[in-house]
Structure 1
Amino acid sequence: MCLNTINEAIEAAKDTSLTIKAPGTVANIVCGFDVLGLALNDPCDIMTVKLIEDPVVVIHNVDDYGLPTDPLKNVAGVALLEMIERLENRVGFDVTIEKKIMPGSGIGSSAASSAGAVVAANHLLNNIFSNDDLVQMAMLGEKLASGVKHADNIAPCIYGGVTLIRSIHPLDVISVPSPPLYVTLVHPQIEVRTEDARQILRKQILLKDAIRQWGNIAALVTGFMKNDYELISRSLEDVLIEPIRSILIPAFDEVKAKSLEAGALGGGISGSGPSIFMLSRNEATAYAVEKKMQEIYTNTGIPFHTYVTTVNMEGVKQMN
């Protein structure tokens, strides 16, 4: 990157700040482990970023989650430190984070923080980095959170809509057009750490199961692109991950069965859980699904929160 371009961007952004909303995301979309994701209009983190002269990251948390303020231990911090290095240590960032997405929720909390931070910083710098650059930086936050670089939360958070990650080495993100969809989520107030949820997965799978999964992924993407709700519904099947991870989520099987009875197209575990998501064709069905989820979790005695929302087509959004 040209040094003059960096200097001009930094000079123009002095004494300014930017506040953004970083959306929650649903990773995997049932069958697309680590390769599919979609962005949500609710919930969203709120973040304010401003430039500082020293090439460091200063973090302020204005929530009750007690996340680290050491940038080396914070997902937004490590993503911004990578940006500072790419900017040849000529600027730093002051970040205020108000998390609305509970860590460990399965709704892309770490992705919202890391993606939101680099998108806001890039806006301040007159967008000198590409979206692919931002995904690469933000994936360092995901590596800190889970031990593995993955982009199925990061990419939809930055690009918006539904995204397919064909590869991360080299990075190849494809935006997938989709029909209008309503998303209903229930978040049991328990924590499932992404790193732990990865550890329990099988290291080897049967070829026949892999073939079935590949078919579902290809059909799901085709269903999105053709606005074919019935094909989407048939393809929301996971024979590899869900049977194992679902044991970590109380009442999962009942929630899924009752949601389908209420008219949902289908759904499953959001990310690594514990949140469960269901896709619906219309708002009335989405709220009917929410009612079933609420009834089930009320009976379990486990505190929970539900959302009825739509697919966010913009990704990280500027607020001022």
Structure 2
Amino acid sequence: MEVTVQVPASTTNLGPGFDCLGVALQLWNRTRVSRVNGSSTSASPRPKMVDEAAQAFFSNSTISPFEFDWSLEGDVPPARGLGSSVTLRLGVLLGLNRLAENIYSTSEIKQLCDHLEGHPDNTAAALHGGFTVVNARRNVAHRFDVSSDLHFVLFIPNFEVATSEARKVLPVTYPRTDIVENLANVALIAAAFASQDYMALNDAFNDRLHEPYREPLVPILRDLVRAGQKAGALGGFLSGSGSTIACLTTQDPQPVADAMRAAAGKAKGSISIVQADNCGARIL
């Protein structure tokens, strides 16, 4: 038996919503998982992420582990702040779960993936689709559909930024004024997405908790966001820990894309114009 799982990319943080806000995007990876008798027939060893996902799946269940083959294809680039690791981990977990006749609930699959990821924002968005707000401590996630009127213009640089390295540059403490500013912007973003009043997002993506410290890793960040805004974007932000930079608009996205590409200068990368994925991960 073979199962194919399609998992969307996700853009998270949305500026001030560090580790708690995310949106699933219409970029996908597809993981094929098939149960085999005896040893795997794959000619190459499985990546560490696949083995870790399988270990988490079987060690937390009451069934006997079984061997499986897997493959991955799709359009989500690795280490670009678009949740590529979640597309792989969720794909394996959901595929194994279907092969094991759904021994885990959706909530339990999310918990397994959260544990592997270390933070829940990408998992919630990729699993549930749409715009998601998560609370890691309470294991709570709420989602809202995103209108097709909202366009996400992505500049995806050719260089990678590892999440582990991007977290190392963050300070341990912050000024109260920075925290208050972020709280206000997060509340505004959540209200705008919940009500689909996207004009309220104008200038709401300003962040003081992580982007100022990560900007040296992605030095083109501010130039691209400013260029996007001048071309009609509501605002922009570093997608996840980078290196992708996202601008949002309800207008024609092409001028925003052109402005961002021009502002990138000699920095090499690609532009993608996408909408939100309201379906989330699914078995094909």
Does the Cα contact within 8 Å between 1:79 and 1:140 map onto a contact in 2?
no
Match of 2:77 in 1: 102
Instruction: For 2:130 and 2:114, locate their aligned partners in 1 and report how far apart those are by CA, in whole Å.
Output: 18
Match of 2:112 in 1: 137
Shift in Å at residue 156 of structure 1?
A: 0.8
Does the Cα contact within 8 Å between 1:58 and 1:95 map onto a contact in 2?
no
Match of 2:59 in 1: 85
Does the Cα contact within 8 Å between 1:200 and 1:244 map onto a contact in 2?
yes
Deviations 1:84-116 (CA, angstroms, capped at 9, x unpaired) = 123324243322123532221111111111112
Instruction: Give 1:53-92 correspondences, 5 Å limit.
Output: 69-70=46-47, 74-92=48-66
Match of 1:176 in 2: 144
Shift in Å at residue 119 of structure 1?
A: 2.0
Deviations 1:68-98 (CA, angstroms, capped at 9, x unpaired) = 725xxx2233122211123324243322123
Aligned positions, number: 282
Does the Cα contact within 8 Å between 2:236 and 2:247 map onto a contact in 1?
yes
Unmatched 5+ stretches in structure 1: 1-15, 62-67, 143-148
Match of 1:205 in 2: 174
Q: Would you say 1:153 and 2:122 are equivalent positions? A: yes
Unmatched 5+ stretches in structure 2: none
Q: Would you say 1:30 and 2:15 are equivalent positions? A: yes
1:287 to 237, 242, 254: 254
Does the Cα contact within 8 Å between 2:146 and 2:278 map onto a contact in 1?
no
Instruction: For 1:198 and 1:59, locate their aligned partners in 2 and report how far apart those are by CA, in whole Å.
Output: 35
Match of 1:258 in 2: 227
Identity, % of aligned pairs? 26
User: What secondary structure sits across from 2:121 in the alignment?
Assistant: coil
User: What secondary structure sits across from 1:314 in the alignment?
Assistant: coil
Q: In angstroms, what is the RMSD of aligned CA positions?
A: 2.1
Match of 1:145 in 2: none
Does the Cα contact within 8 Å between 1:183 and 1:308 map onto a contact in 2?
yes
Instruction: For 1:292 and 1:76, locate their aligned partners in 2 and report how far apart those are by CA, in whole Å.
Output: 39
Shift in Å at residue 60 of structure 1?
A: 7.3
Q: Which has the higher contact order (CA 8 A, sep 6+)?
A: 2
Does the Cα contact within 8 Å between 2:146 and 2:193 map onto a contact in 1?
yes
Q: Would you say 1:116 and 2:91 are equivalent positions? A: yes
Shift in Å at residue 153 of structure 1?
A: 0.7
User: What secondary structure sits across from 1:198 in the alignment?
Assistant: helix
Give the partner amino acid of 2:30.
Answer: I
Instruction: For 1:204 and 1:135, locate their aligned partners in 2 and report how far apart those are by CA, in whole Å.
Output: 29
Give the partner amino acid of 1:175.
Answer: R
Change (3 A) 1:103 1:138: same
Q: Would you say 1:51 and 2:35 are equivalent positions? A: yes
Does the Cα contact within 8 Å between 1:27 and 1:37 map onto a contact in 2?
yes
Instruction: For 1:100 and 1:225, locate their aligned partners in 2 and report how far apart those are by CA, in whole Å.
Output: 28
TM-score by length of 1: 0.82
Instruction: For 1:245 and 1:110, locate their aligned partners in 2 and report how far apart those are by CA, in whole Å.
Output: 20
Q: Would you say 1:189 and 2:164 are equivalent positions? A: no
User: What secondary structure sits across from 1:203 in the alignment?
Assistant: coil
Shift in Å at residue 27 of structure 1?
A: 1.1
Deviations 1:187-213 (CA, angstroms, capped at 9, x unpaired) = 110111100100001110011111111
Instruction: For 1:233 and 1:115, locate their aligned partners in 2 and report how far apart those are by CA, in whole Å.
Output: 33
Give the partner amino acid of 1:107.
Answer: L
Change (3 A) 1:129 1:206: same
Does the Cα contact within 8 Å between 1:52 and 1:91 map onto a contact in 2?
no
Shift in Å at residue 271 of structure 1?
A: 0.4
User: What secondary structure sits across from 2:184 in the alignment?
Assistant: helix
